[in-house]
Amino acid sequence: MTVTCGIDWASDHHDVALIDHEGTSVYAINPMAAARYRDRHTVTRKKSDHLDAMVLANILRTDKAAHRALPDDSELARAIAVLARAQQDAVWDRTQAGNKLRSHLREYLPSLLATFQHNREGISSNVARVLLAAAPTPEQAAKLTRAQLRSLLKRAGRQRGIEAEAERLRDALRIPQMRQPPQVEQAMGRQAIALLRQLDAACTSVDDLAEATVESFDTHPDAEIITSFPGLGALTGARVLAEIGDDRSRFTDARGLKAFAGAAPVTRASGRSLAVMARRVKNQRLASVGYVWAFASLTSSPGARAHYDRRRADGDRHTAAQRNLFNRMLGCLHHCLTKRTRYDELTAFPAPSTPQLTIAA
């Protein structure tokens, strides 16, 4: 086989592409795998560009079957991957910005944190951000009137229970608390506004990218099959599709998909020693959405709930039971995408057969 090697040198990493005579097969070689192959040619652990080039050139010549070509995903699938990963990054940025602001408010305005501690979004909610922008210091927050609070609630999008919520906020923001010196409070208020701008930008990015991701995902042929699974909505389904792609030749069986997602365990055996451990080398993004998928399926699928409870009864911890359920769901997903069929609860989790009792006459 004639192989053409293309190397793109960079200061922090190098990109290497090996293409056959047809110009279609591109193989991505893991740097750790390349390091292992290097040991086959030298025992002195030396490293040079010439040696690395020779190693890469021989990898496919000798062990092509052990490596996999890059998936040939459609243009739409690649676009969904860009949007879904960007939206996930924006969510992580929002969390980081929220944590920074929460840590800062704890130093001089803890009453605002206590006011929204039971809110699902906490300080990232629209009401909390609008309120903090209007009154970034304890003195300003305590002076807010009922009319001003009602106006702020409406500006944040609140439509019901405005009177009761305004009264609750007014009482909560006037609770006596330890205060910083006036000039220090003013300075910390300015810093809070700066952190709030970062949080606002992250929240806006999350919403915009989520809308674009769902819009693109809904036009994909696999969207109907993926969202037929319990616990998978349009956004989480887009994240799953972004990582597995739509090239069905990428995973020849469900085992490969499960290993790629980190749901399948790793068995290490040597002599009389046998250890089964969780897989650490995996697609982190797919594994992340897998835990969300498994957790959400517990309330929408009786079979998933029974499977999880059975694993817990057998001694699995919560994380291990969820990972096992994710492993089961991935097998079903691979089957449904291959056969082009929607998810069926009875097929995925068939009812256990009841043994019949035979009475001798």
Print pLDDT tens along the chain (361 aa). Answer: 676 676 767 777 776 766 666 656 767 777 777 777 777 767 666 677 667 777 776 776 777 777 777 788 999 999 999 999 999 999 999 999 999 999 999 999 998 998 898 888 889 999 999 999 999 999 999 999 999 999 999 999 988 999 999 999 999 999 888 889 999 999 999 999 999 999 999 999 999 999 999 999 999 999 999 999 999 999 999 999 999 999 998 898 999 999 999 999 888 888 888 888 888 889 999 999 999 999 999 999 999 999 999 999 999 999 999 999 999 999 999 999 999 999 999 999 998 765 555 555 5
- Domain boundaries along the sequence of the chain: 4-66, 76-217, 223-348
> What is the rounded CA–CA span in Å between residue 232 and residue 220?
15
Q: Strand pairing partners for 15?
A: 8
pLDDT of the residue at 355: 58
Q: Which long-range contacts (CB under 8 A, 24 or more apart) does 72-76 make?
A: 72/247, 72/249, 73/245, 73/246, 73/247, 74/246, 74/247, 76/216, 76/219, 76/220, 76/246
Report d(CA 294, CA 285) in Å as an integer.
14
What pTM value is reported for the model?
0.80
Q: Which helix (H) or strand (E) holds 98?
A: helix 75-108
- Closest Cα partner for 236 from 262, 222, 217, 261? 217
Give the pLDDT score at 303. Answer: 95
* Residue 117 confidence (pLDDT): 86
